[in-house]
Amino acid sequence: MKDMKQRAGELLRQGSTRLSMTVLGIFLIFSVFLPLLIGVNLTGVLFGENGEDGLIFAVWGILSVLVTAPVLILLYRRAYLLYLRLRDGFAAPRRLPNCGAIRCFFAGLVMLFRPVMVFCVFLGAYKVAEQTDFWLYLPIMLCAIVLAMLVMWLTAYLFLFPYYICRGESVGQALKYSVKHMLSRYRGYFGYMLAFLGWVLLSLLTAGVLLVLYTIPIMLLTYFIFADKIVGDQQREDDRHE
């Protein structure tokens, strides 16, 4: 993983402006969308009652998913195209296979399944902790962390899904190939997930600036390098068995 991160760093230095601007553009989209979410919450605070908290969270969640799903896939596709151009130069395609709006949306929903599940785990733990004694707060949060790790492990088969979507596969084929290639590669999956923990924590100290300009771009490029290696290893294994 260290070698992959170094390689991703080299690619990022070549195309840092283009990829960072893409990530920044995604965040600007959300900066326009954010006032709507704040408005929903303020309306609930000013005119609603405690019993309407669930409705506010539901509206907020649905709006967030509807916007995030297609934008997430478009970010991956833009990063993948840049990765190909940096890796292969003029031999790489200038445009990826067509990604229709409906296909893009459903692919984004699949990608959001894991983070939404993890969010629900911590939200549920927080709600339970609010209704218990203070000394139970830490054990409840620790249980939530363990449960979140279990969710991450059970959904590891989705790891290669965005890679295959970017290559032009259908949603069903992308799921099939991702499951096939990830069944015996959980160690590498968790290695990737933990490799950027320090950068993510450091990014929080910069109010997200480092996250946009460096952490997310290098995570995306490392992801595609790692995915290429997994698929290449699988192809060599299949060739030996034939």
Q: Judge whether 118 lies within some domain.
A: no
**Can you give the residue range of the structural domain that contains 196?**
2-112+185-241
Residuewise pLDDT in 10s, the chain (242 residues): 778 888 888 887 776 666 767 777 666 666 665 555 555 555 555 555 454 556 666 666 677 778 788 888 888 888 888 888 888 877 777 777 776 778 888 888 888 888 888 888 887 887 787 777 777 778 888 888 889 888 888 888 888 999 999 888 888 899 998 988 887 777 778 888 888 888 888 887 876 677 777 888 888 889 999 898 888 766 666 656 55
Work out the burial of residue 108: count CB atoms within 10 Å of its CB; fewer than 13 is exposed, 13-18 middle, 19 or more buried: buried
101: amino acid identity, one letter: A
Which residues have C-beta within 8 Å of that of residue 61, sequence separation ≥ 6? none
Euclidean distance between CA atoms 202 and 205, whole angstroms: 5
Asked whether residue 202 is domain-assigned, the answer is: yes
pLDDT at 29: 62
The verdict on residue 20 lying in a domain is: yes
Residue with tokens 């295959």: 164
Q: Which of 1, 4, 9, 6 is nearest to 218 (CA)?
A: 9
Predicted local distance difference test score (pLDDT) of residue 47: 54
Residue 180 in any domain: the answer is no
Question: Does 228 reside within a domain?
Answer: yes
- Is residue 230 in some structural domain? yes
**93 phi, psi to nearest 5 deg:** -70, 150
pLDDT of residue 27: 67
Say how far apart CA 211 and CA 200 lie, in whole Å: 7
pLDDT of residue 163: 92
68 within a domain of the structure (yes/no): yes
Q: Residue 44: what pLDDT?
A: 54
Domain count, the chain: 1
Asked if residues 98 and 142 have their Cβ atoms less than 8 Å apart, the reply is: no
Is 53 a member of any domain? yes
